[in-house]
Structure 1
């Protein structure tokens, strides 16, 4: 399904009703979170640009979810005026697997929650003025802008302010960040309780169902959250559980199918090995940025993500392909080698990683 690049394209295409509904949801989130004041800005302030972006979220076995977001053009911000600190931690994939392994072995309850319009729940410290979206509900003078009260998506400091908000809430519930990964929060009481935060996606794991329900209720009281039930999908991984065997399996079959379609390889012939022994890759003697126009770095990055999540068998081919991602270092032969890895994934997309 093609994704529109502009508001005009979204509202004139075959899915205009779905995109209009998604934009209405986003506008309501701005209003509900008291995200801005309407002001006529002084001539001296920097006005940060804004843009609608659109995405279709497709989960296995579910109808497509149309999502629209009005974001700040962070590249128009000015350091020490619109923003200061920007660092925000992100959960590491080894932490995700380690937590799921602990939960499988301990037969923990594992739940998933999602924060709605997460960044709009943080607090913005700086004075930031931003273009308001054309057609936003209400009537405003032509020179009106938003003086932001919430860290809108796209602002450089928005992820940091959201993390600070989550940390504040979890500390109040006696959860503390792990020394090995500050996105993993742990509470040690009669039973250990783990909460892993990846931006707006939460994994909760503990043995006691009553304790799980109490913490979910407390989180929903402090933040606008959706309870997604038992963990089934996370970061593009499908998660299957066998509680009797105390195991969890991770797979990326849907991710691989989408990858094959994206690079027009879904009808390709499969191969049994990811690299060919007959062809050794080397960089061209004289780098030429025009040597290959194919999206080689994008494909290598996508293969790397599969490797990091569930496919350690891709470690060597990805390491070889990664040597040549700089412009001028990859040619048609490198592109062909990368596509061979896709053909290997075509044959092995049902491979799973078992934890527990």
Structure 2
């Protein structure tokens, strides 16, 4: 509701509403987590989804940059974007059945017209990537030509490198204050979980 993920509407004629389910897990720290997931396997290419590929940083790039940071004694910080896929705006017209436990009284016949991508949709990952790409570009980062999951921000004190792996972010750079500045800029746009220095 907070993110404006959907609005309740009548299902248009000729449209099909995809189903959804709750996925429950217990995290490593003992916290309980519930996530609403769309049953995206019922989506059809060309009808309710187009692009499904989302780039992430290559393993070789991650290994190289971590080795370089260790060699230069650079700072490495880790971040996680909370509910990352809910930030991606959908271009397609997608309808989903109301989730169990959230069905509004007197609106049982209505369906959710999705405005944002949710987990399980085939296009959820690329819509999130386009959103974070726009944010980093707006902040002055440049995506490398060799790896679309690596972004570089050049400054007088040295560069800040951002490694993207879906919703996980590694910040690498020679100055901790510059990494903190990048974290603060990203935190204005996204809810982040700061894991601090990588061990």
The TM-score normalised by the length of structure 2 is 0.94
Correspondence for 1:207 = 174
Correspondence for 2:184 = 217
Correspondence for 2:22 = 52
1:180 maps to 2:146: yes
Correspondence for 1:132 = 98
Contact 1:114 1:225 in 2 (8 A): yes
Question: Which residues of structure 1 form unaligned runs of 5+?
Answer: 1-30, 232-239, 241-356
Q: Supply the distance in 1 between the matched residues of 2:141 and 2:106 (Cα, whole angstroms).
A: 44
Deviation at 1:138, TM superposition (A): 4.3
Q: Supply the distance in 2 between the matched residues of 1:93 and 1:123 (Cα, whole angstroms).
A: 28
- SS at structure 2 position matched to 1:222: coil
Contact 1:193 1:206 in 2 (8 A): yes
Q: Supply the distance in 1 between the matched residues of 2:164 and 2:98 (Cα, whole angstroms).
A: 30
Cα deviations by residue, 1:130-149 (Å, 9 ceiling, x for unpaired)? 01111117435221110000
Q: Supply the distance in 1 between the matched residues of 2:98 and 2:108 (Cα, whole angstroms).
A: 10
Correspondence for 1:169 = 135
1:76 maps to 2:42: yes
Q: Supply the distance in 1 between the matched residues of 2:106 and 2:24 (Cα, whole angstroms).
A: 25
Match of 2:76 among 107, 110, 113: 110
Correspondence for 2:165 = 198
Greater Rg over alpha carbons, structure = 1
Q: Supply the distance in 1 between the matched residues of 2:87 and 2:177 (Cα, whole angstroms).
A: 27
Correspondence for 1:158 = 124
Q: Greater shift after overlay, 83-92 or 138-147?
A: 138-147
Cα deviations by residue, 1:163-204 (Å, 9 ceiling, x for unpaired)? 000100000111111222111111122201110011111100
Deviation at 1:113, TM superposition (A): 0.8
Q: Supply the distance in 1 between the matched residues of 2:56 and 2:30 (Cα, whole angstroms).
A: 27
Question: Which residues of structure 2 form unaligned runs of 5+?
Answer: none
- SS at structure 1 position matched to 2:54: coil
What number of residue pairs does the alignment pair up?
Answer: 198
Contact 1:46 1:77 in 2 (8 A): no
Q: Supply the distance in 1 between the matched residues of 2:19 and 2:103 (Cα, whole angstroms).
A: 19
In structure 2, relative to structure 1, the CA distance for the partners of 1:140 and 1:230 (3 Å cut) is: farther
Q: Which has the higher contact order (CA 8 A, sep 6+)?
A: 2
Contact 1:185 1:195 in 2 (8 A): yes
1:86 maps to 2:52: yes
Correspondence for 1:347 = none
Q: Supply the distance in 1 between the matched residues of 2:100 and 2:27 (Cα, whole angstroms).
A: 25
Q: Supply the distance in 2 between the matched residues of 1:65 and 1:93 (Cα, whole angstroms).
A: 29
Deviation at 1:118, TM superposition (A): 0.3
Cα deviations by residue, 1:294-334 (Å, 9 ceiling, x for unpaired)? xxxxxxxxxxxxxxxxxxxxxxxxxxxxxxxxxxxxxxxxx
